[in-house]
Amino acid sequence: MTREISHTAALKLLDTAPCGIIMLARDNTIIWCNANIGALLGLDLSPLAGQYAAALKPLAWLFESQDIGYIPASESRPARWLRGWREKLDGDGQAIFLIDVTEQQRLDSEHNRLTQQLDEVDTRDSLTGLANRRALLQNLEPLVSRSRRYGNPFSVIRIRTDDPAQLDKRYGTGAGKSILVSISRELKDQLRWTDIVGRLDGGEFLLILPETARDAATDLAAKIAEQLATTTLTTADNKTVALTTRYGVTGWEKGDDSRKLLERVARLANQAAAAPNHIAVG
């Protein structure tokens, strides 16, 4: 059961509410605001009545389809982030409600900063446990520098398999992830301890082979292709998967940097569909 309260009690309730409240007329002029508005916006309340709310700088963001606005610091008040929304009232007027979300914004910013730092130091692909793109690039740079200085050979193989999203469509949800994990195990079994294997993205893998000439890398690609072709790959629910793999193989050449090397091997992987055994060498 509810009871009506007096006009005076209602105004006191609104005036002492923990959020800021502004009441606007049909033409968006201010007709009333509670005491908390002054603290939130850093404005003197006395001259606000009759002013256009959209013309007030601390409120302009509310009329630009934004729900969060930044209020710069002043001599007497620290900077704030406010969340605001508008509600229609009877008689075509409206009310603006504002709450302080400064602490929430600070926590969100800190969370994003820590997440970015974690991403920067993370070197493992979360699905396969192989090196991720960042780790592959970090390992590639020293080999390029060494080859430039001493002429040591090294090669890279880019393996392109069916995209996991396409595998999910053909064999059911989760099939793509399951197959990528199986391929990762097969690749690790074929490599020396000095070789580096990682996942770039999707169904793309990169093998970095130190002290390996292009011909030897081509032989390894053929061996991997044969192994994957003769290995029965199944999903978690034991569906046999028909997998397409393509291989780009190249070795370091004078004048190469990491970018040129990776662009060349990616181009070769694109061309591999028409190459013998789906292995393109360049």
Cβ–Cβ under 8 Å, residues 15 and 34: yes
Domain of residue 131, residue span: 122-281
- Do 27 and 153 lie in one domain? The reply is no
Q: Which residue has the tokens 């033409």?
A: 27
Residue at which a domain ends, from 54, 78, 105:
105
DSSP summary character for residue 211: T
> Tens digit of pLDDT per residue, the chain (282 long)?
567 888 888 888 888 888 999 998 988 888 888 888 888 887 777 788 888 888 788 888 888 777 888 888 877 778 889 999 888 888 788 898 999 999 999 999 999 888 777 766 778 888 899 999 989 999 999 999 999 999 999 999 999 998 888 888 888 888 888 889 989 999 999 899 999 999 998 899 999 999 999 999 999 999 999 998 887 777 777 778 778 899 999 999 999 999 999 999 999 999 998 887 899 999
Residue 117 belongs to a domain? no
The CATH code of the domain that includes 29 is 3.30.450.20
Residue 111 belongs to a domain? no
Residues 6+ apart with CB under 8 A from 44: 38
- Do 174 and 41 lie in one domain? The reply is no
The CATH code of the domain that includes 204 is 3.30.70.270
What total of structural domains would you count in the chain? Answer: 2
